[in-house]
Chains A and B, each alone.
Chain A
Amino acid sequence: MEILQIENLDVFYGDFQAIYSLDLRVNKGETLAVIGANGAGKSTLMKTIAGVVPVAHGSIRYLGKSIENLQSYKRVSAGISLTPEGRKIFRSLSVEENLKVGAHTKRKGPWNLQTVYDAFPLVSERRDRLGINLSGGEQQAAAIGRALMSNPELLLLDEVSLGLAPVVVEQIYAALPQITEQGTTVLLVEQDVIQALKVADRVQCLLEGKTVLEGAPGDLSRGAIANAYFGIE
């Protein structure tokens, strides 16, 4: 069944149209990777699903109900959780406090402080450190952990690899199976195409706010993906 259905979505970033008539579907339990170059509209898409950026036209249906007009904080209670671009860890709070804030909605599920610490040893080691004193990789792991604390049905990961060394990125994505095996649907946005192809069940490539390619990684050739990514006919 489809957990998320986006139809004909138009989104503006100020005066600038970032997304044009976009269609997107995510099946329950799958991992969908949205790839594309900088400015393709990927992060705007994530923010729109999370409710931070408003919908100009079109519909977003989550678990069958339309949520375009639902306030962002209510979407978290409904089961959508975003790990934002840039991590956005709370600087003056410790890692553990960050996680606790993430659990505000008290949704039931497999994720709590202990299970997050088990899945992300890096986070466990740093639990008392203040957010401002974390490295980029530690912040990213903590941010994902924080998003998991709300026990989401749909986890949104926005540009996890941004600004991180490849080794660190691999470590973080290594934890992904532990998330998906719980049945969580993952929608991730990535500039790092190789990494995205490794973890995704399906891939959708955006260019200037429109879909130019979609399919399972196994069915798509490298060449086709590269052409779509760069907008070559």
Chain B
Amino acid sequence: MKTVVRTFQTSLRALRRNIMRSALTCVGIIIGIGAVIAMMEIGNGISTLNQRAIASLGANNLVIFPGQAASGGVSWGAGSSMNLTPQDCEAILRECTAVRAAAPEVRSGGQIVYGNKNWVPMQITGSTADYLDVRQWPVDEGAVFTEQDVRNSGKVCVIGQTIRREMFGDENPIGKEIRLANVSLKVVGVLTRKGANMWGGDQDDVIIAPWTTIKYRVSGNNRSGSGGGGSSASSGSSSGGVNTLNNLYPNSGVKLYPQQSETQAANYPQPVRFTNVNSITTAATTAEEVPLAIKQITQVLRERHRLGDGEPDDFQVRDMTEMMNTLASTTQLISTLLLIVAGISLVVGGVGIMNIMLVSVTERTREIGLRMAVGAHGKHILMQFLVEAIVLCLAGGIIGISLGRGVSLLVRQLLKWPTAVSVPAIVASVVVSATVGIVFGFYPAWKASRLDPIEALRYE
């Protein structure tokens, strides 16, 4: 035991004796490990950026559609049931930990008019301010409508770049009013350009307004969704084609949640008719959390819809499988690439260590001979040189880790990439640098231990 400790001390002393050479030898490993750490951390950053980019395409978006409604054996098709409510959306946001944001969606269509121009947007969506967060869609100019607007069915909207170009040209659209189905909507914001979606549709050809506005003012149908005129979930509907003046002031006429008098409620204990939405769009916290989010949403909605164990879901949760796969494969590609590069630099560092150790063995042949003459066994010499190599590698490893962290912090500061500490990378680096020390230090050490003391002493 004492011999081991003393051999260790001997190794350290030998390294100190050649401090310059030891330092230079370390540089190989420092660069190797530094590269690994920096690569891993920057790689993490790239991954995050990449994830964000793909997430903005909607990779971690989940869209919840109501289930099908059927009447007399005739199905109305997917999404025809009227059982998704804004309260469902709030419950999902409140109870599902894997869901970052959720927004209800009400769809409509129609012509818009501004001045002497008119246009039919591809998509007219009613939602909340969270919708833009779910879609990761920032506003270019102006602002998003507020929670207050949603509650008041405020006559405001934000428009996409295509609408801006077609309706306003070079004019500043903020504060201007466009008319949509005879309702004046004030433009409060313009969205950034999003371009085409995956199947070529223009995503910028869009108007987004508070869902209450679309539902109660624009669609002109204050009881059911735009698509479900005859479905079983809604009982009757007014003639939706004409907007009467009355409909323009829903706060005075139509209540969001239809009121019953106490007598009515007592006499006709009907289920309260609720306001439905066409779909709920949610975003999972990360792409990896998507399956968990689906599970949680399903659970919450089954509870809220009071579905028993045997009953099928009355809704559907759809995810972006294709995009998810793309995301997974790109991330995989980046990590593999980085690993290969890091591996190469480590091997280079290791060969450097081996080279220096071989030189060191040759240079210290006489010392080895002397040590053997005064009683060192082969294994003592082996250990001494092996410890030297490992100490060099470990020291290099530790300095390399700090260097790598430094580089990654620099990148974070200068390029604003979201680099992150990678604990596995640090642990792996320490293990790898020790291993490199053992592997590349072994041959020189073994060579030293096999020297013949007589020859070694005579070596010039």
A and B assemble together:
no
* A interface residues with partner B (beta carbon < 8 Å): none
* B interface residues with partner A (beta carbon < 8 Å): none
